[in-house]
Amino acid sequence: MGGPRSAAFAFSCALGSCALGLAAGPLRAESPPPPKPAPSADEGELSAKRLQLRGVEDTISASEEQKRKIESEIATLQGERERLSQTLLDATARLRATEESAQEVEKRLDELTVGEDAILQSLQARRALVGEVLLVLQRMGRRPPPALLAQPEDILEAIRASMAMGAVLPQMRAEMAALQIDLEKLSRLRDDIRDQQANLLREKESLNVQRANLAPMIEARQKALKEAETARAAQSERARALAAQASGIKDLIARMEAESEAARRAAQAARDADARREADDAALSREQRAAALSAPFHDPARLAPAVAFADLKGRLPLPASGQILRRFGAPDGYGGTEKGMSLAAREKGVVIAPADGWIAFSGPYRSYGQLLIINAGGGYYVVLAGMARINVSVGQFVLAGEPVASMGDGSAQTAATIAIGAKQPILYVEFRKDGNSIDPGPWWARSDMRKVGG
């Protein structure tokens, strides 16, 4: 019996060993791998640098994308500004042309009215003579001269009547011819007056429409250019405070550029533009310089004057439509001479910038009414006063021909209206060079001066 038992035991042990051996294999395979050695300090710093580099590269990429986006927005804004400026200039030019047309119609109406008054006075002066002629004709109709064949004994009376008729008829005929001519002329004049009144009504309606169209353009320009409302209000308050302290235009300009940040930036921009233009002019040939001078206001996207103010003599447009009432150097009625010129402007007429430049002052000033000072560069300033409303802000760059203000209805009394005794709005214009008043006459375009009789 010992043999089989031993064999069974051996067999079971063999099976157990196999089982243990099979179980041990998987247990050794599932055990965790031995820990890796900790990275050195150099390797950790390198990894951090790589992460930092990746972050910088991502930031650079985002910045480049943002830069491209901003550049695209700037290009779009520049294009919109150019289109808006050109539209504004065109609309203002049309409005100015309509104002001038209305002024011509009013002038023609005045001439026709004077002619009508002259004819009526002539007819009134001859009323007695015409009455006598008509009375004679009436009497002749009632008592005609006798017929010689019917009453030969009245030959003496007939001869006397014939002699009287011979003396009176030529004079009567001449008076009747002159009367007929005057009456026909009066009829034509009254027809012309009615036509001109209808034209004037149409011109005024067109003016109202164009002013209504221009107003939102000006508002859009100001919205696109002005700073935050709080900053603008603070700047306006600062300008008013400076105006109250300033003793004159020269002092006002100096104070604004010394104490107003916006005016100081405008003055610096003018100096920088002068320096750049001088450098550019030095590099231009004579032909290129002549070409630049021939079209100084051609580019509506310009952000600085293309030509020096001193080179613009005979090129500048008058800032408003109207007649020149007083000129530079004329007696001012107080023992001195005029430092500027005064224009009889239209009621609610548009006022344009006569030259490119930066706004150095904008707001009410003493008895001047609304005052606007434009820094035209090269030490030149353009002063406009007497307006009812100003549409631009200190520090803003404006183009020649761009609307900057509008006149009132003449009810507000300014220094210019009081000095002249005018009942219509008066625009005062003064040019200054290095603090002194100069004659603006040589700068105005000859075409504009012909319109105002200058």
- What is the DSSP annotation of 9-46? HHHHHHHHHHHHHHHHHHHHHTSPPPPPPPPPHHHHHH
Local confidence band at 163 (pLDDT 50, 70, 90 cut-offs): low
Give the residue with greater pLDDT, 373 vs 209. 373
Give the residue with greater pLDDT, 36 vs 401. 401
Are β-strands 322-326 and 341-345 bridged in parallel, bridged antiparallel, or unpaired?
A: antiparallel
Local confidence band at 58 (pLDDT 50, 70, 90 cut-offs): low
Give the residue with greater pLDDT, 269 vs 412. 269
Mean pLDDT of the chain: 76
**What would be the CATH architecture of the domain defined by 228-451?**
Distorted Sandwich (2.70)
Between CA 316 and CA 376 the distance in angstroms is: 12
Lowest-pLDDT range, 143-152, 297-306, 406-415?
Answer: 143-152
Helix (H) / strand (E) element for 406: namely strand 403-406
CB 296 within 8 A of CB 325: no
Q: Which of 222, 129, 219 is nearest to 172 (CA)?
A: 129
Between CA 303 and CA 145 the distance in angstroms is: 93
CB 387 within 8 A of CB 427: yes
Lowest-pLDDT range, 47-56, 78-87, 244-253, 424-433?
Answer: 47-56
pTM over 0.75: no
Q: Say whether pLDDT at 311 is over 90.
A: yes
Query: In the prediction, which pLDDT does 249 show?
Result: 83
Q: Which of 27, 187, 254, 211 is nearest to 102 (CA)?
A: 211
CB 390 within 8 A of CB 350: no
Give the residue with greater pLDDT, 83 vs 331. 331
61-147+159-223 belongs to CATH 1.10.287: yes
Q: Where are the domains of the chain?
A: 61-147+159-223, 228-451
pLDDT in tens, 131-147: 766 676 666 655 555 55
Between CA 287 and CA 310 the distance in angstroms is: 19
Query: In the prediction, which pLDDT does 405 show?
Result: 94
CB 359 within 8 A of CB 396: yes
Average pLDDT over residues 51-67: 62
